[in-house]
Structure 1
Amino acid sequence: MYRQMLFLISFCGCTVFAESNNFVVTSTEATKEQKTNITELTHVNPQIYSMQIFANVSNRFARTLITSKVRNSDSTPHETTFSVVLPDNAFISEFEMEIEEKIYKAYVKEKEEAKKIYQEAVSTGQSAAHVEQSTRDSKIFTVSVNIEPESKTIFRLAYEELLQRQFGRYELVINIHPGQLVEDLGVEVHINESRPLTFQSVPFLQTGNEISKNQENLNDFVQINSISNKSISVKFTPDIEHQLKFAKSLGSAKENGLAGQFVVQYDVERDPQGGEVLVRDGYFVHFFAPSELQPLPKHVVFVLDHSGSMIGRKFEQVVEAMKNILSDLISKDLFDIVWFSEGASVWNVETNTFVDTNISYSHSNYGHLEPTLKEANLPEAASVSDENIHKAKIAIENYENMASTNIIGGLEVGLFLIKRTEKKFPDKYQPILIFLTDGLPNVGIDSGDEIVTLVSKLNDGANRAPIFSLSFGEDADKDFLRKLSAQNLGFSRHIYEAADASLQLHNFYRTISLPLLSNVTFKYVDEVSAVTKVQYPILFNGSELIVAGRAPENLDVLLNVTGRCTTGLVNFHTVQSKPVSSLERLWAYLTVQQILQERDRVTNTTELTKKALDISLKYSFVTPVSSLVVVKPNATDSVDTKAAVARPEGGIYNFH
């Protein structure tokens, strides 16, 4: 019998797929020795004899189904593991195992209820599996199960995600990591949009744990078929020899086979007004990404950790990244650089030195430092010029006075500089504060919650500064930084300690480097309901804002979109059309995501948790408030296997 089942979703922001190995396939024509090696590598038990990944993308919403077939050729039971690396923003929606021609389907429950079911099953001697999604950086789903002698098991996992537009394109990332060479391995992607596709590309395989500048092009290994100007299919079916070749190029161990990320990129034709409103079956979605806008002039304040824990490679990588970022600033921008450790200091462009702010790590007056900072006569923001950028690149290499971590001191100084510039040039510059730290606050104020509250009070007024937080390394408090940014109009990202850390930092900056609109507001007719977020502080170049809601059929839902650009307030209008597929799950996905983000902005989370849970249960999404549970008894089935075998409409078998 099947004595063990274990579910695990763990989140690790960056996925390390496999070990490095020097195994080489020198040509596609395998030698006799290479064929012998291939035979040995493929003769494993239990063996994954087939893994097929199918992704269907429409209206920028992707549903991916992974089917893994495993056989045990031995005369004794063996344990096998089914492992999937999920995109950061994906929700698992279905999972099932087919064992001895019976289907055991997982179901979504509220977290505590799921744990109770799991614990009760274990206490009665049943095999059970329970998985929940961590609230931070969850990415890996793993289930282990024993396979009876000379039998087969099939795993099926489906997950869903709304693709995010960055750098002027959508990117679907599919992780391929079977853990062994697979005789029948294939990836198939169908993209079907309501507007013509302006380009499509399958540029490379990547490891998923480091950004490489030399990724191998897949043009010779991928079949891209154009079905129409709005629809394409992509197929990738590497045989054993090519799996070994890719494993070598990606640094995977030969016995683990291919371990990498398959990437499909595309974009759609844009309306100059930036709008695309789709309405179908009682739901609407509005994609907004206007073109032909000039970037807003911005005032960027970099608040960077200069504490002792940054000494060495981390500081060198920040300096390397900052040199690239400074080169990306445009001529009409202003910028400040703040180092913080026990105190904080501000870069002076005239002397090319960092000026002490005279705040003490033991200062008890945080939240009211403005008089002290005014007396310090801190330097004004620097304008962007070749000379000033050159000076700044030299100044940031300063390694002196690296001590404790006074986060509140650095943030309060940064906000003071932003407010001072805003008073001098009202509404001229879009303020942006970029905050990076690798540790925990240990002087000044050491409570993350207190810092979030205080910073949110300081960052007030009509022209609040979005705070974008970067956690560097494993000692940084990612939960604290996520809340800090969520309550201050921004978002947080994690920078991993690796050879490409400076490239990670630079790529992050590129996503926010060109603000096009500020104070963007969407207005719809009164008949629409359950509308997602309609006010956004900034729209960045190459990105997209998305609003969804419920709407009656045959109704023009949009009134207008307003935002402030370089010429002042502007109105946007657009035409309405019908999408290629249903919008309901897209609306549900976006609604849950935004409710969960809103939870980070409030103290009492009870109501928002209930709202997120209700939608998660209705649409079978595994989210931070829900869990996946499946129970298989040792003797008597307690799961309604008939219902599972019935394969209900819209279920996993109707995925295509």
Structure 2
Amino acid sequence: AQQDTTPTTGTAQQSTSPVFIKSHRVSVEITDQIARTTIDQVFVNEGTVQAEGTYVFPLPRGVTISDLKMIIDGVPIQAQILEKDEARAIYDQIVRQMRDPALLEYVGTDAIQANVFPIPAGGQRTLQIEYTQLLPVESGLVHYVYPLRTRHVSPLPVGELSIRVSVESNDPISNVYSPTHPIAIDRKSDTSFVAGFETTNTQEPTDFSLYYGVSSEDINLNLLTYRESASEDGFFVVLVSPPVEVDESRVIPKDVIVVLDQSGSMFGEKWDQARAATKYVLDNLNSEDRFNLVVFSTGVNVYANDMQGLDAVEDAKDWISGLEAIGGTNIDGALKAALEMNERERQTVILFLTDGLPTEGETVGANILANVKANAPENVRFFTFGVGDDVD
């Protein structure tokens, strides 16, 4: 069987090879700018002959690698870090043979190279790479980059791709941002977070890039700028974030008014959900907050004539539990009643829960909005929630 010994990025096959990446999983642990990246890749050879060659993996620009490990199917193999000139010679060869200009973007970087990498016909190989690097910090932003593009590796898409980045910092973390990929973020505390990205059947056009801000300021601001050339306009992104956790003594007291639709269309599961949501709000008030409840159907009822403190929470929850959904939908009357409770010297939040259109009192939506605008002072903030899957 004829063997292919051409070195390529990510595996050792030419673009006509039946080899593809079945799964590509990346786990990154960052502790105070020290990033340890662990890569698991599964290569599959769907051809009828053995595929063999040299493995080359490009490194991000400016990265200094230590603690390099490479394992194939559980067996450690010899790997070396190529300097920029050596890496460029290999990249030029790949581009000449594969005609992939995207690889030129890697020119100027170092690379990891392994020895012979055979994959039997119809078989697969699991490759693991682990390396440690020191991440750069600029203007309070820590930057992590992972080389993710694989079109120059194989014309076939990657079956499964996932990236998980776990960060621990001695300093508070402010903004977390990826300009290249949509990420989910789970903040464990003000000094840690986990970011994740997953997709299937993909050929990513860009490398994975992640920024996060490190600052001890109350309000953190970071600026990212980019300009292709001196003759072209540039772009910028400003990231502003408050601290994740704030001492309760610094929290501004507020008045919370829950306006709850009690009409007949809310009967059943929707009414149960709305009451549960109201109780959750009451259970999570801050110590200096006050509250009141407004329920509406054909008419409007209020829990109390004035704002209440935390000592009334349990009684208010019992009051809500005893109500049933019946009657029409008087949205205009309910919002007017809520606004009349406002005291201008305190921040006021109105939470409006409903499932439908008004059927009592003022029923024209534009007129209801005009009434709210005319009667709502600057210290009032509205948040509207649709209840159920048939909100109209």
TM-score interval (norm. to shorter) = 0.3 to 0.5
Larger radius of gyration: 2
The normalised TM-score by structure 1 is 0.28
Greater fraction strand: 2
The normalised TM-score by structure 2 is 0.45
